[in-house]
């Protein structure tokens, strides 16, 4: 196997030249455990426990590494990313968590059972549009639903032009179409809640039981985390897939522009409002509210747009406050150093 089989190309080889001149080698992060990065470098896979770069690599990252005098591998740098899927860390911490890096396509998996939730899909789409990856919506468990087509139409309206596939990983329906998106040298990540069927889909795509699966709870269709870590897998026919632990809560780490892109139907209508700074709440001549009254846009979708926009603006404010605190902390250190050593 070559580096190209794992997605290596000019985007990564150009910035790697400076590391190559320093005697370093390239490799791709295939899995991350606590204190251990698994690296795929051609046909060789090995672990790195020490990474000196200031940026912590995630699954899918390309890194520059070398062998020390003690015959152990050490990571030196993370190469620039062509795409990165992020969400906000759980809790009050204002930090991003990288879900996957250097992804070409994102399978947004949702079950046609109690897992079905258009508002959650809006969040997944917003996160994917912000990342630079192309979304493919996968409505799994079609065998359990009698109204799969109507559900597909509901989801289709959220992002016109985005593929929406009805799939049953359990019986194999739609897997052939899904496999056509797994192309040689390209990376696909699967994202969805626990119990949506991501691991079962991977098993179907590979034609063998690679990933452990379990049944969901009957009362709410929720599953346990059968996937406990992110892992990059190479398909025998070409293409790479990243399986992810289920995401129960999607806190966004995106820009206002990404929200506008995900709600393009609302954003495009906003240009026809009477007032340029229309908030689409009570103003006369609001094209968005007119579309809601005519049934073109649902009230639920407009409320979701407000909610995500408010969430993203609040996050930007918290980031700004955090940056200001860090700046003050640095200046305190500098002033303290000057007081103790005026000759500096």
Tell me the pLDDT tens digit for each residue of 205-214. 998 887 665 4
Tell me the fold of 84-243. Rossmann fold (3.40.50)
Q: Are 48 and 39 in contact (CB under 8 A)?
A: yes
Helix (H), strand (E) counts: the chain: 9, 13
pLDDT at residue 217, as a whole number: 46
| Residue 289 region by backbone torsions, left for phi larger than 0, else alpha for psi between -120 and 50, else beta | alpha
Question: Does 241 or 309 have the greater pLDDT score?
Answer: 241
What helix, strand, coil percent values describe the chain, rounded to 5?
A: 35, 20, 45
Q: Do domains 3-78 and 256-322 have the same CATH topology?
A: no
pLDDT at residue 214, as a whole number: 47
Other Cβ atoms less than 10 A from the Cβ of 139: the count is 27
pLDDT at residue 225, as a whole number: 46
Question: Does 138 or 271 have the greater pLDDT score?
Answer: 138
Which pLDDT tens digit goes with each residue over 82-129? Answer: 999 988 776 666 677 889 999 999 999 999 988 899 999 998 999 899
Query: Residue 32: helix, strand or coil by DSSP?
Result: strand
Instruction: Name the residue ranges covered by the structural domains of the chain.
Output: 3-78, 84-243, 256-322
Task: Flag the least confident range among 197-206, 257-266, 326-335.
Answer: 326-335
**305: phi then psi, degrees, rounded to nearest 5:** -60, -50
Task: Using alpha carbons, select from 247, 250, 263 the residue that is nearest to residue 304.
Answer: 263
Helix axes 118-131, 299-340, angle to 10 degrees: 50
Q: Which two tokens stand for residue 302?
A: 């407009």
Q: Are 208 and 181 in contact (CB under 8 A)?
A: no
pLDDT at residue 335, as a whole number: 47
pLDDT at residue 246, as a whole number: 67
pLDDT at residue 336, as a whole number: 56
Whether 137 has a pLDDT exceeding 70, the answer reads yes
Return the H-helix or E-strand segment holding 152: helix 148-156
| Mean pLDDT (the chain, rounded) | 85
pLDDT at residue 296, as a whole number: 92
pLDDT at residue 343, as a whole number: 54
Q: Are 61 and 30 in contact (CB under 8 A)?
A: no
Whether 320 has a pLDDT exceeding 70, the answer reads no
Residues 14-47 as b or e (16 or more Cβ within 10 Å = b): eebeebeeeebbbbbbbbbeeeebbbbbbeeeee
Question: Does 105 or 258 have the greater pLDDT score?
Answer: 105
In the chain, the N- to C-terminal Cα span, in Å, equals: 55
Tell me the fold of 3-78. OB fold (Dihydrolipoamide Acetyltransferase, E2P) (2.40.50)
Question: Does 282 or 162 have the greater pLDDT score?
Answer: 162
Which pLDDT tens digit goes with each residue over 276-301? Answer: 888 888 889 999 999 999 999 999 99
Whether 248 has a pLDDT exceeding 90, the answer reads no
Whether 161 has a pLDDT exceeding 60, the answer reads yes
Q: Distance between CA 125 and CA 109 in Å, rounded?
A: 11
> Is the domain covering 256-322 a CATH 1.10.40.50 domain?
yes
């Amino acid at each position: 196997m070559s580096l190209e089989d794992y997605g290596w190309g000019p985007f990564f080889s150009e910035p790697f030249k400076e590391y190559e001149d320093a005697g370093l080698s390239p490799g791709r992060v295939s899995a991350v455990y606590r204190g251990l990065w698994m690296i795929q470098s051609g046909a060789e896979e090995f672990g790195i426990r020490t990474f000196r770069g200031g940026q912590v690599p995630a699954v899918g990252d390309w890194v520059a590494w070398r062998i020390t005098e003690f015959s152990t591998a050490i990571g030196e740098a993370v190469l620039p990313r062509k795409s990165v899927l992020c969400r906000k860390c759980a809790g009050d911490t204002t930090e991003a968590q990288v879900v996957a890096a250097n992804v070409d396509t994102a399978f947004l998996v949702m079950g046609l059972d109690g897992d079905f939730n258009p508002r959650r899909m809006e969040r997944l789409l917003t996160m994917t549009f912000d990342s630079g990856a192309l979304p493919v919506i996968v409505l799994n468990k079609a065998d359990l639903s009698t109204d799969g087509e109507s559900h597909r139409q509901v989801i289709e309206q959220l992002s016109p032009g985005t593929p929406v596939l009805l799939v049953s990983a359990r019986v194999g329906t739609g897997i052939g179409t899904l496999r056509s998106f797994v192309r040689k040298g390209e990376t696909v990540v699967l994202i969805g809640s626990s119990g949506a069927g991501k691991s079962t889909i991977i098993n179907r795509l590979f034609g063998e039981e690679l990933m452990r699966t379990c049944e969901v709870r009957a009362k709410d269709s929720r599953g346990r985390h059968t996937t406990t870590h992110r892992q990059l897998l190479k398909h025998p026919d070409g293409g790479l897939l990243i399986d992810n632990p289920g995401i129960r809560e999607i806190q966004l780490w995106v820009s206002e522009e990404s929200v506008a892109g995900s709600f393009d139907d609302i954003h495009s209508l906003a240009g026809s409002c009477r007032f340029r700074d229309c908030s689409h709440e009570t103003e006369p001549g609001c094209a968005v509210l007119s579309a809601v009254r005519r049934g073109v846009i649902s009230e639920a979708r407009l409320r979701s747009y407000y909610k995500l926009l408010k969430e993203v603006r609040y996050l930007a404010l918290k980031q700004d406050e955090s940056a200001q605190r860090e700046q003050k902390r640095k200046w305190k250190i500098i002033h303290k150093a000057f007081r103790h050593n005026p000759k500096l």
